[in-house]
Structure 1
Amino acid sequence: MRILSIQSSVSYGHVGNSAAVFPLQRIGVEVMPVHTVCFSNHTGYGAWRGPLMSGDEVREIVLGIEERGGLAGVDAVLSGYQGGDSIGDAILDAVDRVKHHSPDAIYACDPVLGNARSGCHVAPEVQRLIRDRVVPRADLITPNQFELGFLTGTAPDTLETTLDAVDRARELGPQTVLVTSVERPDRPAGTVEMLAVTPAGAWLARTPHLPFKVNGSGDVTAALFTAHVRRTGDAADALARTTASVFALLERTLAGGGRELELVAAQEAYAHPELRFAVERVR
């Protein structure tokens, strides 16, 4: 399997490609990373150094890959945070180029917009870019519950309203939706859920809610789910494996007490996940 991953990169810590590439490689995926920024660290620290890439620079890198024949045999294009129209256009251009050479490739988009606690934290132009131009071109999206509501103009909270919102999202274009950080009022206390929906059905996985927030876990989730579902076509199995891997990564990180993901220390959880969380069919 080969994935073209167009995301941010940091030298210290793990977000974007710096979070997604190694877990993918550990499960046997050949990854071609294209960086949209090259920062010292993620912006959550309040200060960072390093350059932003322009859309033209991203295009040049993808063009160079194409000239080597590297866009043939690609299984998926993966994208995360998009900082503006320039990068968004370059990613959509890359999707077109990949699908020209690899017609069966999918575009998997993590529509990074914000979360329920802090609201939208991207500029209005990025909100419009993601909602109006990027999501309709995607085959698979991995929003959290807040982002799903933003994309569909709804306020999902129960399982039923979340499923309804997913149906609206799928009407926009993507046929596979993974909803992360599902927090419905009737779930068991101290838990959090993920919901995977495809034309074949809908499945829910539940884990304990760990009492901390760490950057990059969503990037790992999107990468692993994309690879698993693309490899097998089985959303329930992809959900089970992704849930197990990411929970083990977060457990390891919490135990370590640091601010950054224990990405390398948890590597066996990607290659050999302990499938300890049941996946329930809900539709």
Structure 2
Amino acid sequence: MKVLSIQSAVAYGHVGNSAAVFPLQRIGVEVLPVYTVNFSNHTGYGAWRGPLIAPDDVRAVITGVEERGVFPSIDVVLSGYQGGVGIGDVIVDAARRVKEANPSAIYACDPVMGNAKSGCFVAPEIPDLLRDRVVPVADIITPNQFELGYLTGTEPGDLESTLASVDAARAMGPSTVLVTSVERPDRDPETIEMLAADDKGAWIVRTPLLPLKANGSGDVTAALFTAHYSATGDASVALERTASSVFDLIEATYRSGQRELQLVETQEAYAHPRMQFTAERVR
């Protein structure tokens, strides 16, 4: 499998491509990383250095890859945090060009906007850009529960309303939806869930909730789920493998006492997931 991953990059820590690339490589995926920003660290620190990369420069890098004759062999275009407004058009155009070269390729979009605790943390124009122009052309989207609500204009809460929100998202264009950070009011408060749905049904997986804000864990989740789903065509298997790997990553980070993901230290969890969680069919 070959993935063109268009995301942010940081020198210190693990978010964006700096979180997604290594786990994908560890499960045998060839990754072509294209950077949308090149920051010293993620913005959660409140201070960082380095440039947003101009959309034309990002497009030039992608065009250079295309000129090497690589597009027919790309299986997945993956995108995450979009630092500026113009980058959305570059990503959509790249997905279109890859699909023209390889009609079986897919586009997976992690529509990064924010979360229930912090609200939106991207530029004000980004949420509408994602909703109106990017998500409709994606095959897979991986929003968290907060982002799912924004994209669909709904209020996902319990299982029924979350499934209704997923249906609304799938009606926008994507055939497959992974919802992360699902916090249903009737769940065990010491747990957190992920839900995946496609044409074959819907499944939910439950893991312990750890008291840690793990920047970059969503990027790892989106990358691993996309790769596993693309390889197997089975949302439940992809969900179980991803939940197993990401939980072990977050648990190792929590136990380390460090703020940044222990991405390299936990590499066996990607290559050989313990499969300690079972996805439950909910539709």
- Whether 2:178 is the aligned partner of 1:199: answer no
- Tell me how far 1:122 sits from its aligned partner: 2.1
2:188 paired residue number: 188
Match of 1:280 in 2: 280
Shift of 1:124: 2.7
After superposing on structure 2, the runs of 4+ consecutive aligned residues of structure 1 that deviate more than 3 Å are none
Q: Percent identity?
A: 69
Which letter maps to 1:257?
Answer: G
Give, as a single letter, the amino acid of the residue that structure 2 aligns with 1:195: L
Aligned residue type for 2:98: V
Q: Which amino acid counterpart does residue 191 of structure 2 have in structure 1?
A: T
Tell me the alpha carbon deviations over residues 173-200 of structure 1, each in whole angstroms, 9 at most, x when there is no partner. 0010000000001112300000000010
User: Is it true that 1:266 corresponds to 2:262 in the alignment?
Assistant: no
Contact 2:216–2:261 (8 Å) recurs in 1: yes
Q: Secondary structure, in 3 states, of the residue corresponding to 2:72?
A: coil
Give the conservation status (yes or no) of the 8 Å contact 1:84–1:129: no
TM-score by length of 1: 0.99
1:245 counterpart = 2:232 = no
Q: Which residue of 2 aligns with 1:39?
A: 39
Cα distance, 1:79 vs structure 2: 0.3
Residue type matched to 2:276 in 1?
A: R
Residues paired across the two proteins, number: 283
Q: Secondary structure at the match of 2:58?
A: helix
Residue 228 of structure 1 is matched in structure 2 by 228
Deviations 1:60-85 (A, max 9, x none): 00110011011111110000011233
Q: SS of 2:49's equivalent? A: coil
Q: Deviations over 1:175-226 (max 9, x none)?
A: 1000000000111230000000001000000000001101100000000000
Unaligned runs of 5+ in 1: none
Q: What is the root-mean-square deviation in Å for CA atoms of aligned residues?
A: 0.7
Q: In the alignment, what sits opposite 1:78? A: 78
Matches within 5 A, 1:133-144: 133-144=133-144
Alignment of 1:134-173 (within 5 A): 134-173=134-173
The whole-number CA distance in structure 1 between the counterparts of 2:42 and 2:189 is: 32
| Residues 91-143 of structure 1: CA deviation (Å, up to 9, x unaligned) | 11111111111111110000011111121222331111001000001000000
Question: What pairs with 1:29-108 in structure 2 (closer than 5 Å)?
Answer: 29-108=29-108
Q: State the match for 2:10 in structure 1.
A: 10
SS of the residue corresponding to residue 6 of structure 2 reads strand
Amino acid paired to 1:70: V
Counterpart CA distance in 1 for 2:32 and 2:72 is 12
* Rounded Cα–Cα distance in structure 1 between residues aligned with 2:52 and 2:249: 29
* Matched position secondary structure for 1:85: coil
Q: Letter of the 2:121 partner, please give it.
A: H
Question: Structure 2: any 5+ residue segments left out of the alignment?
Answer: none
Residue identity matched to 1:13: G
The 8 Å contact of residues 4 and 78 in structure 1, kept in 2 or not, is answered as yes
